[in-house]
Amino acid sequence: MRGPHNVLRLIRTGATFERSGAMREALEVMDAPPALRVAARVLGWPFKWLGYRGDMALPPITRALTALGPAYIKFGQILSTRPDVVGTEMAEQLRVLQDNLPPFPTAIAKATVESELGAPVEVLFSDFSEPVAAASIAQVHKAHLAETGEAVAVKVLRPRIEQAFRRDIDAFYFAARMIELLSPNSRRLRPMDVIAHFEGVVLGELDLRLETSAASEFEANTASDEGFRVPHSKWSLSSRRVMTLGWVEGIPLGDIAAIDAAGHDRTKLAEKVLVTFLSHALRDGFFHADMHQGNLKVAADGALVALDFGIMGRIDEYTRRVYAEILIGFIRRDYRRVAEVHFEAGYVPADRDVDDFARALRAVGEPIFGMDASRISMGRLLSYLFEVTNRFGMETRTELILLQRTMVVVEGVARSLDPHINIWHVARPTVESYIAESIGPRAMARDLYRTVRVLGRFGPRLPQIVEASLIRQTQRAEEPRQSRRQVIYLLCVVGAVAFALGTLTGL
């Protein structure tokens, strides 16, 4: 229930934010007016003693969210993907949130596996370890299949986690309504929309069948990618609350000392991280949207292995082409073309001046190109780009925000491996290759073929459609001109389909 009973929960939240020192930072990020600041103090300061102290080693907001528990941790993680809402600096701070939570008993995990998969753990697995990782939503156990002895990772949802999340989400909705009521200016940040976005992401992660599906699709898309792997999904051992994937041995990408000791080439690894992300985003339109060091490992043969598929990004083919043209335009320093692409895509209102926009883009790109390779940042470029487009009236596009955020994370991972990596030099071949495949005569032929295939599905019905139209229009003798126009239009469609089919057959 989203009602006043959530006040007590919000008092505890406000008290924790006040005690940790996060209240002032949060209000500054929101640019809160006096009325909201007073309300926050009322909810926080008098009840400060009720707040959780948290880990003093963490920054204030991160400390408060971690202390408040799984739903708040996950909310912070989601906000880290929305720099348009919390700002770039705060998004970066929230990105370091770690789900280092106490595990729940293995006996409960085994009972969940038995209930979900319909067989005792001892029948399905020859062994089942204690938790090897515990996160806000689930924990992971290592096991071996009873039939084949293959090592697998078994992810099990926390008990009653669904109820806990729904309860806190109710409180979030209540808080968002109060914020909008007390601070009309905050509506530009769309608090209710942010909570709705969070709810959608969390409810998706609470059904492990969806994560298994994402892992399976990602594995299929990247099967031929040299030096990149995704653990195999075990569908027969997965369900709503249990997910089983192949076990992965490797060195976490954040363990630089171990990577060096194993003799891996960090420069090549850095390039691989960047190139694989761009390939997945541009080629497939389906990319890992949480590619931090904790979700990437290096196998013994040097292959990059991705883990944790709870947050995936998807962009349609048209948006991929726009994104690629924007990137290559900056790489070639063709700011006029970058501006035109924004107008063609409808990202910037048509009543704005394209030359003024191109000049603003030049002011974004040129200072970055003046830097040495170790300081060139594609993430910084995208951040500046969104600032400019916002000034020119570009509406926020969630899929581009997620893409930008992931690009920043990927770039950070690459630089942690090789601080001197030239982002532009590494990215250029991948972007140009995509453009060569997706923009030009061959791409136009493919688009025409797809269009004809869609029209062709109606081929057997075209005579009936034309006949029915003729009959209807004959009955409307008072509109002879419109009738003739519609009949001519239908005949033109039939002729165009026939011509296109003939043309493509001859290609």
Compute the distance between CA of residue 113 and CA of residue 244 in angstroms, rounded to an integer: 10
The single residue of 84, 170, 290, 418 carrying the catalytic annotation is: 290
- Per residue in 120-141, pLDDT (tens digit) is 999 999 999 999 988 778 999 9
- Nearest CA to 386 among 364, 367, 356? 364
- 43 versus 317: the higher-pLDDT residue is 317
Most confident of 55-69, 277-291, 415-429: 277-291
- 215 versus 422: the higher-pLDDT residue is 215
Compute the distance between CA of residue 481 and CA of residue 100 in angstroms, rounded to an integer: 73
Active-site residue, 290 included: yes
- Per residue in 388-435, pLDDT (tens digit) is 766 777 665 656 667 777 887 788 788 888 888 887 788 888 888 887
Say whether pLDDT at 209 is over 90: yes
Q: Where are the domains of the chain?
A: 4-99+162-205, 105-158+208-223+231-247, 249-439, 447-505
25 near 58, Cβ under 8 Å?
A: no
Say whether pLDDT at 445 is over 80: no
- Average pLDDT across the chain, whole number: 79
Compute the distance between CA of residue 40 and CA of residue 29 in angstroms, rounded to an integer: 14
pLDDT-derived band at 492, boundaries 50, 70, 90: low
Whole-Å CA distances, 415 to 58, 67, 100, 101, 422: 23, 31, 25, 28, 9
pTM: 0.72
Reading the block at residue 116, the tokens are 């979900």
Say whether pLDDT at 503 is over 60: no
CATH topology of domain 105-158+208-223+231-247: Phosphorylase Kinase; domain 1 (3.30.200)
Length of the chain as a residue count: 507
